[in-house]
Amino acid sequence: MEIIYTITEKTSAYSVGDILKKELHLSRRIITKLKKQNGITANGTPVFTNAFLAPGCLLKVSLPENEHSKNLLPENIPIDVLYEDAFLLAVNKPRGLPVHPTRNFKSGTLAGGIMYYYRNEPFVFRAVNRLDKDTSGIVLIAKNQFAAACLSKQWHEKSVQKIYYAITEGVPFPLSGTIQTSISLSPDSIIKRCVSQTGTLAITEYKTIKTYDNGKALVEVCPKTGKTHQIRVHMAHIGCPLYADFLYGNEIIHQTFYLHCHSLSFVHPHTRLPITITAP
């Protein structure tokens, strides 16, 4: 993977190291790796990070992907590609498919399907966001260290807009609003979460899209924080758990909850332009 950056009048006052950090948002670890591999050049000539470059000079960063995810076996599992370029892959994960292998699901995962998709080239599986096995929708994969660092920073800074769709048991009242409560691990469980004054603050905005005669509703949900099971906990907290949610609502045999990651909006790590990816 290569990034080519043209030095401007403004950035000519920055050292190469500052450009890599401030303009290209590369981590210290990646910059160290680049220096060891002579992966930083200016107009085709290797350059040190303390150098200053003239306006119009082409700074090139080369990050070869010569590794392969260990312990992830390629599996011929179809994947629904929503978007792909040299930096990102976005797929529409179906319900019931785990993202990573776990103790209970050692095979049959999205990671295995992605590794099969890239079976003919070196590839490291770097999922930027995580979805529960029974949650469908967008999973974003960074295709190199640079993209992973940029996107992780945006998630950490909570600058990514996430929109989910959910089917609730009951109609929210009011039909739209903001839920702000603290969430912590339930004292009697290693999985279940609960609203608790001792937890950390979680914020969820919701809007009812459609109501049904059977008492259910289609709700658009925008989590502003990223706590485990946040949407499920918050909707149950206002009396409208997700339909068939076995942890926070009413368990229905052979069914599971309906929650779908519909869209992600963020800044593209290379172009630095806003991008929105949508999963139908």
Tens of pLDDT, residue by residue, the chain (280 residues): 788 899 999 999 999 999 998 888 788 888 888 888 889 999 999 999 999 999 999 999 987 665 667 778 899 999 999 999 999 999 999 999 999 988 777 889 999 999 999 999 889 999 999 999 999 999 999 998 889 988 998 999 999 999 999 999 999 999 999 999 999 999 999 999 999 998 999 999 999 999 999 999 999 999 999 999 999 999 999 999 999 999 999 999 999 999 999 999 999 998 889 999 999 9
Q: Is residue 134 flagged as an active site residue?
A: no
DSSP state for residue 241 in the 8-state scheme: P
Among 80, 85, 132, 245, the one annotated catalytic: 132
> What tokens appear for 18 in the block?
């500052």
Reading phi first (left if > 0) and then psi (alpha if -120 to 50, else beta), residue 185 is in: beta
Only one residue has tokens 């370029």, namely: 85
pTM of the model: 0.86
> In Å, how far are 61, 108, 123, 201 from 68, measured between CA atoms?
21, 19, 5, 38
Q: Is the dihedral of CA 207, 204, 173, 280 positive or negative?
A: positive
